[in-house]
Amino acid sequence: MTTPENIVFEKHGSIAILKISNPPQNYLKSPSFIPIDFLNELSQQEDINGILISGVGRHFSAGADLNNLFELAKDSNQLTNAMSDGSELLEAISSIHIPVVAAINGVCWGGGLEIALACHIRIASVKALFAFPEVNSNLMPGLGGIYRVTNLTGTADTLALLMSGETFDAEKALQLHIVDQLTSENVLDYALQYINNLVGSKPRSVITSIMQAIHNAKKLPLQEALKEETRMFCELALAEAALRKSEA
Amino acid sequence: MFETIDWHIEDGIGFIQLNQPPANIMSKLFFYEIHELADTLLSNISIQALIISGKGRHFSSGADINDLLSFDKDKPQQASDFYLANSQTFSRFYLANIPVIAAIKGVCIGSAMELAMACHFRIATENIIMGFPESGFNLMTGCGGSVYLSELMNKKDTMELLLTGKNLDAREALNMGIVDDVVPKSELMEKAVSFTKNILLHNYNRSLKDFYCKKFLRTHRDD
């Protein structure tokens, strides 16, 4: 698996760490910060139980590189394709069947915030800063961030954030449920320990089944979600029963 | 008459008491009996609410792990039909047109927590232990736990509970929004009954609005 450009890829035990890399502010050169194939390949690896997304250095990401974006916009097809690829990538992250945790330090703005919102859990440094600054350039978030932030914090707060473009601190992000937890420690170390406690030593089949069930609960009609849960339970139970028999 | 469950009707409220103390373990027989009892009580139009509790010191410790794994593995269909039926039974409480209240004390883990989560309200004592230990046995919830939990909790809390199998005490459960009230141990049934009667008597009581809101959300989640 070759590491894509603009990413630093590390493995710590069963956890894959992806760091957005375009220091100092880690502007995103393209709406897709990694190719979707890379993500798919990563999620299929049997020895990876979880993914941590962070930024190189002091910041998560300050969002889209506007010069690149307007360059893309010279050709409407090119822009549309790039944006829908980016949107597809973030949807793939949020529906992945192993936990994805964002470790947020420094600035987390615009497209960077949209990446963080696609993760299942967001842990931020108390010094992290958030914003949807798109409105200042007569733009709007275009990678599903509006939909995700509305689900977390409601329409009124979302509207206020989007229309003002205001920068808000970690404490406010926590109050708005945009981040799940704050830490005054090194956020990457803290998040790595957190995700290790969550899934570090669990069998992958258990992790992927539980994550799938959690996704189903939001996406499938009730009866289907219930049936799928029981089906996955039965698969795990059959495997466990066979294992116990072979050990006996 | 059931071997594993006591029940009676009083003042329009159906009382279901898991009756296999000390731990009120959910045996295969229990699942058959609760299925039958749900049929009986939910089709009785004189019943306006249900309260589910456990006999003795605990609500229930859920299904027995060895029981869960003791199915005839040459007949996986049979096992899967059994588990599907159990999940359907619990979902009948969840989808019931009358309020269903769990009165919880002591241990309420695994399938027992799934049953409690399928109820519309949970009244708990200060000494409860709730959790989903399934992942520690390389298993997961199979009776709707992941679905009901996702409705009440944010993704982080849901993932932590299901993936780590950690236990919650009364305070944590209250803060996470999965129990509605914490009451002294000696007053559990009394408080559960007054809570239930409150829902039934006062049209503008907050609890009733909660109930209709929950029902509304449920009815419309599949649209």
Asked if A128 contacts A170 with a C-beta cutoff of 8 angstroms, the reply is yes
C-alpha torsion angle, residues A233, A238, A244, A245 (rounded to 10): 160
pTM of the complete model: 0.94
CATH number at A7-199: 3.90.226.10
| Most distant pair of Cα atoms in chain B: their distance | 55
Six-digit token string for B49 = 């609410």
Compare CB distances from B135 to A202, A239, A245 and report the shortest one's residue: A202
> Among B54, B31, B34, which residue's Cα sits nearest to residue B128?
B54
> Among A143, A182, A245, A200, which residue's Cα sits nearest to residue B135?
A200
| B78 has a pLDDT exceeding 90 | no
Q: From CA B50, how far away is CA A190, in angstroms rounded?
A: 45
Chain B residues with CB within 8 Å of chain A CB = 68-71, 73, 76, 79-80, 83-84, 87-88, 91, 95, 135, 137-147, 149-151, 154-156, 158-160, 162-164, 218, 221-222
Domain CATH for B192: 3.90.226.10
Asked if B34 contacts B91 with a C-beta cutoff of 8 angstroms, the reply is no
Chain A residues with CB within 8 Å of chain B CB = 99, 120-121, 177, 180-181, 197-199, 202-203, 205-207, 209-211, 213-214, 216-218, 221-223, 225-227, 229-234, 236-245
Give the residue on A whose Cα is nearest the Cα of B140.
A233
Six-digit token string for A189 = 């170390």
Amino acid at A99: P
Contact B84 A227 (CB under 8 A): yes
Question: What is the percent of chain B where pLDDT is above 90?
Answer: 78
Contact A229 B160 (CB under 8 A): no
Q: From CA A211, how far away is CA A119, in angstroms rounded?
A: 13
Q: What is the ipTM of this complex?
A: 0.95
For B18-40, how does the pLDDT look when each residue is reduced to its tens digit (9 = 90+)?
Answer: 999 999 999 999 999 999 999 99
Q: From CA B87, how far away is CA B94, in angstroms rounded?
A: 11
Q: Which residues of A touch B139 (CB under 8 A)?
A: 206, 233, 236-237, 240
Range of the domain at B132: 5-220
Contact A177 B154 (CB under 8 A): yes
Six-digit token string for B132 = 């989903």
B190 CA to chain A: closest CA distance, Å? 33
Per-residue pLDDT in tens (0 to 9) along chain A, 248 residues: 788 889 999 999 999 999 999 999 999 999 999 999 999 999 999 999 999 999 999 999 999 999 999 999 999 999 999 999 999 999 999 999 999 999 999 999 999 999 999 999 999 999 999 999 999 999 999 999 999 999 999 999 999 999 999 999 999 999 999 999 999 999 999 999 999 999 988 999 999 999 999 999 999 999 999 999 999 999 999 999 888 888 87
CA distances to A38, B23, B29 from A34, in Å: 7, 51, 53
Could you give phi then psi for residue B93, rounded to 5 degrees?
-70, -45
Number of domains composing chain B: 1
Which residues does residue A211 pair with via DSSP β-bridges, in sequence order? none
